[in-house]
Chain A
Amino acid sequence: MKKYAFIIDIGKCENCQNCFLSCKDEHCGNAWPGYSRPQPLHGQRWLDILQKERGSFPLIDVAYLPKPCMHCDQAPCVAAGDGVVYQRQDGIVIIDPDKARGRRDLVSSCPHGAIFWNEEEGVAQKCTLCAHLLDGGWKAPRCVQSCPTGALVLFYGPEEELRKRIAQERLQILPAAQDGPGRPRCYYKNLYRYSRCFLAGSLAEQVSGVEECVIGARLVLQRGDEVIGEQLSDDFGDFKFDDLPDDRADCELVILLGEKEVKRQTVTLSNGQSVGTIRINR
Chain B
Amino acid sequence: MRRLFSSMLRRSATVSGLLVKTMLRTLPALLRLRARTHRSFSSRLREKDLTALISVRAESIESAFALRAGLVSAVSMPTARETADVHLIFSDSATLLELLAEPDNFLGQLNALKNFRVDVRGEDHLVQWFLETLKQLFASTKSLDYGTRMTDGSHRYVNNTNGGPVFVYVRDGRILRITPIEFDETDGASWTIRARGRSFTPPRKGTVNPYVLGLRSLIYSKDRLLYPMKRVDFDPRGERHCGNRGVSGYQRISWDEALDIVAAEIRRVKIDHGPGAIMNSCGSHHTWGNIGYWLSARTRFMNSIGSSQVVHNPDSWEGWYWGAMHHWGNSIRNGASDTYGTVEDCLQEAEMIVFWSSDPESTSGVYGAFEGTLRRQWAKSLGIKMVHIDPYYNHTAALLGGKWIAPRPDTGSAMALAIAWVWITEGLYDKDYVAARTTGFELWRDYVLGTSDGITKTPEWQEAETKVPARVVRALARQWGSRKTYLSPGGLAGFGGACRCATGIEWARSMVCLMAMQGLGKPGVNMGCLQQGAPVDTHFYFPGYAEGGMSGDLDNTGLRVSLYQRMPQLPSMNPVSQVIPRLRIPEAILGESCEGYPTDPKSIEGQFRRFGYPAPGHAPVHLYYKYGGSHFGTMADSNRYARAYRSDKLEFVVNQSIWFEGEAKFADILLPACTNFERWDIGETANSGGYSHHQFIQWNHRIITLQHKCIEPLGESRSDYQIFLALAERLGLGNIFSEAMTELDWCRRLFTASDLPTRTSWKKFFKKGYYVVPAPAEANRAPVSWRWFAEGREKDVPELAPLPGDYKNRWRRGLQTQSGKLEFEASSLKRFAPDDPERPPLPTFIPSWEGHHCRELYSRYPLNLISPHPRYSFHTMFDGKDSILCDVKDHRVLLDGYYYWIVRINSDDAAARGIGHNGLVRMFNDRGEVILAAHPTDRLPPGTVQSPEGSAIYEPLGEPGRSPDRGGCINVLTPSRNIISRSHSTASNSCLVQIELWDKRDIS
A-contact 0/1 string along B2-39, CB 8 Å cutoff: 00000000000000000000000000000000000000
Identify whether the interface residues of A are mostly helix, strand, loop, or mixed: mixed
Query: Size class of B's contact patch?
Result: 35 or more
Which of A24-32, A80-88, A174-182 sits within the interface?
A24-32
Query: Shortest distance in angstroms between A223's beta carbon and chain B's nearest beta carbon?
Result: 26
- Find out whether the CB atom of B179 lies under 8 angstroms from the CB atom of A30: no
Contact B179 A18 (CB under 8 A): no
- A224 on interface, CB distance cutoff 8 Å: no
Q: How far is the CA of A26 from the CA of B216 in the complex (A)?
A: 10
**B401/A57 in contact, CB under 8 A:** no
- Residues facing B in A5-32 (CB within 8 A) are 12, 14-18, 20-22, 24-26, 28-30
Cβ–Cβ contact B884 & A60, under 8 A: no
Which residues of the other chain, A, contact B907 by a CB distance below 8 angstroms?
Answer: 56-57
Q: Closest CB-CB distance, A138 to chain B, in whole Å?
A: 10
Bitwise interface map of B from 60 to 79 toward A, beta carbon under 8 Å scored 1, else 0: 00000000000000000000
Q: Which residues of A contact B374 (CB under 8 A)?
A: 148-149
Question: Are B180 and A211 neighbours in the complex by a CB distance under 8 Å?
Answer: no
Closest B residue, CB atoms, query A63? B398
| CB pair B401 A61 closer than 8 Å | yes
Indicate whether A137 reaches chain B with its CB closer than 8 angstroms: yes
Q: Which residues 862-913 of B sit at the A interface, judged by CB distance below 8 A? A: 871-872, 882, 884-890, 894, 906-907
Q: Provide the residues of chain A in CB contact with B476, threshold 8 Å.
A: 236
B879 → chain A, closest Cβ, in Å? 14
Least Cβ distance of A171 to chain B in Å? 20
- State which size class the interface on A falls in: 35 or more
Q: Provide the bound-state CA to CA distance between A61 and B395, in Å.
A: 10
Q: Which of A56, A142, A204, A213 contacts B179 (CB 8 A)?
A: A142
- Complex interface: chain A residues within 8 A of B885 (CB): 21
Q: Could you say which residues of chain B place their CB within 8 Å of the CB of A43? A: 887
CB distance from A175 to the nearest CB of B (A): 22
Q: Are the CB atoms of B938 and A15 closer together than 8 Å?
A: no
Q: Beta-carbon contacts of A139-180 to B below 8 Å, as 1s and 0s?
A: 000100110111000000000000000000000000000000
The answer, yes or no, to whether A260 is at the interface (CB within 8 Å) is no
Q: Is there a chain B Cβ closer than 8 Å to A246's Cβ?
A: no
Q: Does any Cβ of A come within 8 Å of B528's Cβ?
A: no
User: Are A15 and B890 in contact, CB atoms less than 8 angstroms apart?
Assistant: yes
The closest CB in chain A to the CB of B180 belongs to A146
Known: A14-B361, A16-B210, A210-B460. A24 touches B884 (CB 8 A): yes
> Counting CB contacts under 8 A, is A68 at the interface?
no
Residue A238 at the chain B interface, CB threshold 8 Å: yes
**Chain A hits for B213, CB < 8 A:** 18, 21-22, 24-25, 146
* Residue numbers in B under 8 Å from A236 (CB-CB): 403, 472, 475-476
Neighbouring A residues of B177 by C-beta, 8 Å: 25-26, 30, 142
Contact B208 A57 (CB under 8 A): no
Residues of B within 8 A of A150 (CB): 377
- Once bound together, how far apart are the Cα atoms of A61 and B182, in whole Å? 33
A212 with B474: CB separation less than 8 A? yes
- Assess the B474–A42 pair: CB atoms within 8 A: no
Within the complex, the shortest CB–CB distance from A176 to chain B, in Å, comes to 19
**Known contacts A146-B180, A204-B471: A62-B406 contact under CB 8 Å:** no
A26 partner residues in chain B, CB cutoff 8 A:
177
Q: Is B399 an interface residue (CB 8 A)?
A: yes
Q: How far is the CA of A176 from the CA of B666 in the complex (A)?
A: 52
- Are B399 and A136 in touch, CB under 8 angstroms? no
Does B152 lie at the interface of the complex (its beta carbon under 8 Å from any beta carbon of A)? Answer: yes
- Report the Cα distance A112→B771, complex, angstroms: 44
Contact between chains at B207 and A148 (CB < 8 Å): yes
Asked if A15 and B475 make an inter-chain contact with CB atoms under 8 angstroms apart, the answer reads no
Check B471 against A42 for contact (C-beta < 8 Å): no
Stretch in contact with the other chain, from B227-235, B939-947, B992-1000: B939-947
Closest B residue to A39 by beta carbon equals B884
User: Can you name 15 extra interface pairs (CB under 8 A) apart from A14-B395, A41-B882, A56-B907?
Assistant: A21-B884, A24-B217, A24-B887, A28-B884, A53-B939, A57-B406, A57-B941, A62-B393, A62-B398, A149-B374, A204-B471, A212-B474, A213-B472, A235-B385, A237-B471
Q: Which residues of A are at the interface with B, using a C-beta cutoff of 8 A?
A: 12, 14-18, 20-22, 24-26, 28-30, 41-43, 45, 49, 51, 53, 55-58, 60-62, 136-137, 142, 145-146, 148-150, 204, 210-213, 215, 234-238, 277
Q: List 21 A-B contacts (CB under 8 A).
A: A12-B399, A14-B361, A16-B871, A18-B213, A21-B888, A22-B213, A24-B884, A30-B177, A42-B886, A42-B887, A49-B889, A57-B939, A60-B939, A61-B401, A146-B179, A148-B208, A149-B399, A204-B471, A210-B460, A213-B472, A235-B403
